[in-house]
Amino acid sequence: MLSKNTVKFIKSLHQKKFRIQEQMFFVEGEKSVVEVLDSDFRLELLVATESFIQRNTRLINNSSVHVIEATQKQLESLGQYQSNDSALAVVHMKVNDAFDFPEDQFVLGLDEVRDPGNLGTIIRIADWYGIKNLVLSEHTADFYNPKVIQSTMGSFTRVNFFYADLKEVFQKWNVPIYGAFLDGKNVHELNQVSSGVILMGNESNGISNDIGKLVTDRVTIPGFGQAESLNVAIATAILCDNFKRLQVQ
């Protein structure tokens, strides 16, 4: 049975301060919940309809998660989906551990990308292009924001990430950093590349001056019309496509 205390706890996770306090977040909707059940995230609680439980018995049993059966109406009152006829999971956050630069791979770096929808879409783009690792500036949007999780469509379960001072990380890694700038070199004119950081900046201000000083290669996407700029998520997709196409295999 879904108690008042459980409802209150789940609703508190809509706010960042409580997510940080509890070190938990929530995932809703059938696709995303199935993805997280089948991932290395540790689940605390699953609130789901009878039909979802029946369809996913094996995954649920393998996860050893505590399950509470609920109605669609109850699920809709807990999360942010206007229509959730399947499930909501409460999940433990991962420890914010830095990783070493993965040899012969690209890492996606985000400098102050603040919009949750953009971050979620960028995570999904990274997953599409097989970029498994992201490094996020300390003021980039919260990875565990419900809007971020929703926008990834399950891709959040397949990427590694950590928040850090980008300046310190880039100085330690000492690898090529390809930064997106309006006055950079045409990305279509690049030669083959092997690895490095693909760095995207803030939606309004671009890459900050301090971080920009560490960029080894300034690149841009050529425009052919009158638009002033591109949305950061769209620009990320275009650059990832070009870098993966140019990557030395």
Burial class of residue 119, CB neighbours in 10 A (0-12, 13-18, 19+): buried
Q: Give residue limits of the domains in the chain.
A: 4-92, 106-246
Closest CA to 221 of 171, 186, 176: 186
Grouped pLDDT means (10 residues each) for the chain, 249 residues: 94 98 97 96 97 96 94 92 90 97 96 97 98 97 97 96 98 97 95 94 96 97 93 98 86
pLDDT at 248: 66
pLDDT at 90: 98
Q: Into which CATH architecture does domain 4-92 fall? A: 2-Layer Sandwich (3.30)
pLDDT at 220: 97
Q: What does the longest C-alpha to C-alpha distance in the chain come to?
A: 61
**How far is Cα 176 from Cα 197, in angstroms, rounded to an integer?**
6
Look up the CATH superfamily of 106-246.
Answer: SPOUT methyltransferase, trefoil knot domain (3.40.1280.10)
Contact 198, 155 (CB under 8 A): no
**How far is Cα 208 from Cα 238, in angstroms, rounded to an integer?**
21
Residues in the chain: 249
First to last CA, the chain: 54
Contact 45, 66 (CB under 8 A): yes
